[in-house]
């Protein structure tokens, strides 16, 4: 029996799961599905920011904000970019709230657009069939202003002055009537519409494909999870920022771990087995051999190491057949070494229970010897392998020393 690895949701960074729980508890109107949708939109924002991290230059950093903004800040404001990340299914039309709400946000007094050379609306939407926004990115400032005025002119006096106006009209009035002309023109000069952006699933696939050539296919998921987890871990109560130096260091460390090698060494966690696991596995042969020397106290540690090794052998990482072959070669070398030390222990005088326990402690505390392809084995790997060898009924291995 093997321990099942964490589910995908359990492996989501803590901050994302907290975001989901926070949204879920925001009131009766916030359904679980709505909370999950918003949390996934939050995750989409992070993946967009991660993509920008790969192109960071010296002195640049990526900032994340809780409302869906991702900013690339440079020492030179002209090369700084503020991006509003939106995931919508409906097309981007003249009167779509996404466009007008984003403009309103950029025109807000608390937002200093002077810090940025570009303001990008990054949306999964395609342009609507008849929208006048299609040519936005190639238009001059004056042409953009004309486009907005043409769209706004479709509103009647009755609509604009109604006691209860729709949210979209409120947004349009805030942009077109409540904003100083010079401020509006300054913002319009910087706005770029990035439409038909990849959705969350496509973005994740695209990200993994970018790893082709320097991360083996079987390791890409682990590399991606490591880097995305790193992005989330940088968030704190005050700010959420990724600078080039820290990002490059993490990427290099993950590349060294998951990049091309003879085989990828799995992660080993130094942990004690739980009481439930001890109860399940105490009948295994290797555990019974520990009980023979009256050393119940070390069962949680021994079972924990054994489970870690067993789980590592089912992970299909890069070169896992070679890893399994290395495990077999390591086991044979260890058995020869152990047999010699067991014979030496058998020649000692005194309590054989104590001698057996001393042998166990000596063997499991020694620095693991290296082998080709694995020069610095983990203690958990080596000790797990020891218990796996003890579990082999065809081997006459035991801890109990007899005269």
Confidence of residue 8 (pLDDT cuts 50, 70, 90): very low
- What local confidence, expressed as pLDDT, does residue 29 receive? 47
Handedness of CA 348, 352, 354, 358 (dihedral sign): positive
Q: Which phi and psi (to 5°) does residue 248 adopt? A: -60, -40
How does DSSP assign 175-239, residue by residue? HHTSS-HHHHHHHHTTEEEE-S---HHHHHHHHHHTTTTTS-GGGHHHHHHHHHHHHHHTB-SS-
Confidence of residue 215 (pLDDT cuts 50, 70, 90): confident
pLDDT per residue over 45-71, tens digit each?
A: 888 888 889 889 999 999 988 656 888
Is this model's pTM higher than 0.75 or not? no
* Window from 113-117, 230-234, 263-267 with minimum mean pLDDT: 263-267
Q: Shortest CA distance to 109 belongs to which of 187, 189, 191, 188?
A: 187
CB 207, CB 50: distance < 8 Å: yes
Mean pLDDT calculated for residue range 85-93: 89
Token pair 């998951």 is found at 258
Encoded tokens for 293: 């020397």
% residues pLDDT > 70 (the chain): 87
- Count other C-beta atoms under 10 Å from residue 106's C-beta: 23
- Terminal Cα-to-Cα distance of the chain (whole angstroms): 35
Encoded tokens for 384: 């797990």
- Is the per-residue pLDDT at 180 higher than 80? yes
- What local confidence, expressed as pLDDT, does residue 312 receive? 82
Confidence of residue 36 (pLDDT cuts 50, 70, 90): low
Alpha helices in 86-194 (DSSP H): 97-107, 141-152, 157-160, 167-176, 181-188
CB 383, CB 302: distance < 8 Å: yes
Angle at 252 between CA 249 and CA 256, to 5 degrees: 140
Domain positions in the chain: 47-258, 275-390
Mean pLDDT calculated for residue range 20-41: 53
pLDDT per residue over 255-281, tens digit each?
A: 888 876 666 677 788 999 999 999 999
Confidence of residue 12 (pLDDT cuts 50, 70, 90): very low
Give dist(CA 85, CA 68) in Å, integer.
5
Please state, in angstroms and as integers, the Cα–Cα distance from residue 354 to each residue in 117, 296, 339, 361, following that order.
74, 13, 18, 11
Please state, in angstroms and as integers, the Cα–Cα distance from residue 220 to each residue in 56, 100, 166, 232, following that order.
21, 39, 47, 18
Encoded tokens for 246: 């820290």
Give dist(CA 254, CA 108) in Å, integer.
40
- 222 vs 104, which has greater pLDDT? 104
- What local confidence, expressed as pLDDT, does residue 252 receive? 87
CB 264, CB 318: distance < 8 Å: yes
Encoded tokens for 399: 């801890």
Nearest-Å Rg of the Cα atoms of the chain is: 30
pLDDT per residue over 337-360, tens digit each?
A: 999 999 999 999 999 999 999 999
- What local confidence, expressed as pLDDT, does residue 266 receive? 78
CB 214, CB 260: distance < 8 Å: yes
Confidence of residue 11 (pLDDT cuts 50, 70, 90): very low
Encoded tokens for 305: 């190491």
Q: Which uninterrupted H or E stretch holds 121?
A: strand 118-123
Mean pLDDT calculated for residue range 168-185: 93
- Summary mean pLDDT of the chain: 85
- What local confidence, expressed as pLDDT, does residue 24 receive? 45
- 192 vs 207, which has greater pLDDT? 192
- What local confidence, expressed as pLDDT, does residue 15 receive? 47
- Is the per-residue pLDDT at 25 higher than 70? no
CB 151, CB 94: distance < 8 Å: yes
Mean pLDDT calculated for residue range 233-253: 87
Mean pLDDT calculated for residue range 82-105: 92
- What local confidence, expressed as pLDDT, does residue 7 receive? 31
Mean pLDDT calculated for residue range 308-316: 80
- What local confidence, expressed as pLDDT, does residue 35 receive? 55
Confidence of residue 154 (pLDDT cuts 50, 70, 90): very high
Confidence of residue 239 (pLDDT cuts 50, 70, 90): confident
- Is the per-residue pLDDT at 196 higher than 80? yes
- Is the per-residue pLDDT at 27 higher than 60? no
- Is the per-residue pLDDT at 211 higher than 90? no
CB 359, CB 401: distance < 8 Å: yes
């Amino acid at each position: 029996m093997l321990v099942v690895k964490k589910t995908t949701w359990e492996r989501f960074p803590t901050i994302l799961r907290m975001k989901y729980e926070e949204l879920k508890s925001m009131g009766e109107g916030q359904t679980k599905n709505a909370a999950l949708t918003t949390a996934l939109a939050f995750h989409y924002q992070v993946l967009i920011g991660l993509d920008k991290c790969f192109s960071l230059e010296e002195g640049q950093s990526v900032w994340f904000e809780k409302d869906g903004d991702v900013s690339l800040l440079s020492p030179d404001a002209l090369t700084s970019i503020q991006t509003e990340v939106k995931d919508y299914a409906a097309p981007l039309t003249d009167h779509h709230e996404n466009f007008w709400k984003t403009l309103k946000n950029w025109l807000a007094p608390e937002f200093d657009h002077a810090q940025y050379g570009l303001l990008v609306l990054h949306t999964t939407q395609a342009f609507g069939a008849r929208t006048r926004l299609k040519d936005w990115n190639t238009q001059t400032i004056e042409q953009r202003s004309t486009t907005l005025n043409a769209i706004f002119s479709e509103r009647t006096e009755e609509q604009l002055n109604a006691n209860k106006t729709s949210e979209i009209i409120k947004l349009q009035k805030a942009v077109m009537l409540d904003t100083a002309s010079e401020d509006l023109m300054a913002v319009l000069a910087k706005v770029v519409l990035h439409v038909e952006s990849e959705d969350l699933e496509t973005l994740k696939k695209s990200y993994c494909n970018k790893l082709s050539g320097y991360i083996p296919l079987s390791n890409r998921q682990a590399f991606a999870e490591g880097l995305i987890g790193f992005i989330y871990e940088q968030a704190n109560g005050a700010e959420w920022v990724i600078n080039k130096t820290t990002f490059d260091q993490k990427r290099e460390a993950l590349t060294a771990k998951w990049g091309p090698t003879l085989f990828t060494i799995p992660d080993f966690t130094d942990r004690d087995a739980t009481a439930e696991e001890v109860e399940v596995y105490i009948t295994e042969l290797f555990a019974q051999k520990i009980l023979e020397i009256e050393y119940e106290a070390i069962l949680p540690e021994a079972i924990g190491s054994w489970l870690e090794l067993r789980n590592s052998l089912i992970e299909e990482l890069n070169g896992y057949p070679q890893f399994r072959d290395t495990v077999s070669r390591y086991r044979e070398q260890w058995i020869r070494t152990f047999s010699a030390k067991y014979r030496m222990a058998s020649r000692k005088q005194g309590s054989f229970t104590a001698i057996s326990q001393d042998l166990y402690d000596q063997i499991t505390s020694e620095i693991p010897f290296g082998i080709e392809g694995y020069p610095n084995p983990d203690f958990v790997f080596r000790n797990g392998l020891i218990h796996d060898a003890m579990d082999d009924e065809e081997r006459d291995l035991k801890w109990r020393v007899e005269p």
